[in-house]
Amino acid sequence: MKRILVLGTTLALICLASQATFAQGKAKRGLVKLTDEALKIHRAGLLIDGHNDLPWQYRKRNDFSFRSFDISRPQSLLHTDIERLKRGGVGAQFWSAYVDADSKFAVKETLEQIDVIHRLVRTYPDTFEMAYTADDILRIRKSGKIASLIGVEGGHAIDNSLGVLRTLHALGARYMTLTHTDNLDWADSATDVPKHKGLTKFGESVVLEMNRLGMLVDISHVSADTMRHTLKVTKAPVIASHSSAFALAAHPRNVPDDVLKEVKKNGGVIMVNFYSGFITQEGAKLLPELMTKYRELRKQYPNDAEFREAYQAWKKEHPMPTGSIHDVVDHIEHIGRVAGIDHVGIGSDFDGISTCPRQLEDVATFPLITQELLNRGHSREAIHKILGGNVLRVMRAAEAVAKNWK
């Protein structure tokens, strides 16, 4: 892992149906089998995945020419390639511009990652096209291509500068995750010792400037107090681009129920992460130990190659429980019951995670989520909201806030 459910009566009926089918879903944990009906529903929707770390894979291999991984060909070492993106029915993808939270050159490296995303899209022009607005997504998808957007992962990328934030937006970034694994001078991370109890005054100004720009505020990776503080400050709906439900897997990266209720009031959306450590209770218990060991080994081995060898050896001795597609859909349903059908989405974290749940091993498997939601009694309309309709609504709302900013 890298520095790793309609309003009124209709809503009530949907939630009741979901509750009735949820227990059935828990009881039947066999393989999900894709049907023609589910595939038809899936293809008729707009799947927007909130987080894919393919750009990071190029950086890890110091390959900025796309020669090591030509994704027009099958890539067994990756979760992502073009053929599987098409089989998965991906309509729009937020590609992550991520660099390590402890990087001394975070701004430069983030700019390089944004460049990687732009060049990736230019390298495969028959498949991808850059998108900057909700209308762009619809237009590009109608043309048969995959709309490609940029999400900056971690506020360390702006180096305490609103000017850098504005520059990243000008270069195409349409969301920024406020923190990553470590606290910032202006915000607390979920996986660090609390320092600010949320946001500082400058942190509040970052959120408001993102609102002014029309840039989605991403509360993945931040502490629960930072989530709450952000929801009090923001003038636009927020997202969690790749987070799951704390009630089902008690890891601080996941979103607690009280925050889910506030996200409903805010109009935002929580996009469920597929990483095994965030979807199973057992995995959530193991992760703090994994993070502690990660930091210990980072200090012990300054050399990246030696660090990665030691870290991989430790992880091999402490295997992560994988979980399955059923666990992921449990998280989707839980968020749907607590926050509502309009406030849940998909944020796989593919190619940024080391362990995937069974039957969600790569980008080709997205239709199986549609199948399992259908198996549990969810309507075509509800499924289409989860797949991407909710995120599209949030983007339009953020764009409207920016347009009307005074």
Please state, as a whole number, how many other Cβ atoms lie within 10 Å of the Cβ of residue 305. Answer: 8
Of 49, 81, 129, 153, the catalytic one is 153
Q: What is the DSSP string of 352-381?
A: S-S---BT-SSGGGHHHHHHHHHHTT--HH
Which of 49, 349, 351, 362 is the catalytic position?
349
> Known catalytic residue: 204?
no
Instruction: With beta carbons less than 8 A apart as the criterion, state whether 183 and 195 touch.
Output: yes
Distance (Å, whole) CA 91 – CA 85: 9
- Please give the Cα distance from 321 to 354 (Å, whole number): 11
Residue 242 annotated in active site: yes
* Residue carrying the six token digits 């390590």: 100
Q: Which tokens is 128 given?
A: 């991808």
Annotated catalytic, 342? Answer: no
Residue from 42, 79, 242, 378 carrying the catalytic annotation: 242
Positive or negative: CA dihedral 246, 249, 252, 254 = negative
A 10 A CB-CB count for 27 gives 7
Catalytic residue from among 42, 49, 53, 218: 53
The C-alpha atoms of residue 36 and residue 270 are separated, in whole angstroms, by 28
Token code pair at residue 45:
């929707």
Which residues are bridge partners to 350 per DSSP? 52
Q: Which amino acid is at 294?
A: Y
Could you say which of 42, 79, 156, 180 is catalytic?
180
Annotation says 251 is catalytic: no
- The answer to whether residue 331 is catalytic is no
Told to judge if 349 belongs to the known catalytic residues of this protein, a careful annotator would answer yes
Q: Any catalytic annotation for residue 306?
A: no
Contact 74, 83 (CB under 8 A): yes
Tokens of 406: 């005074």
Comparing CA positions, the residue from 128, 190, 178, 135 lying closest to residue 153 is: 178
| Interacting residues of 42 by C-beta distance below 8 A, sequence separation 6+ | 89, 366, 367, 370, 371, 383, 387
Catalytic pick among 42, 79, 221, 343? 221
Rounded Cα distance, 215 and 4, in Å: 23
Residue type, 37: E
Query: Distance between CA 148 and CA 140 in Å, rounded?
Result: 9
Q: Kindly state the tokens that stand for 356.
A: 């995937």
**Which residues are designated catalytic?**
51, 53, 153, 180, 221, 242, 349
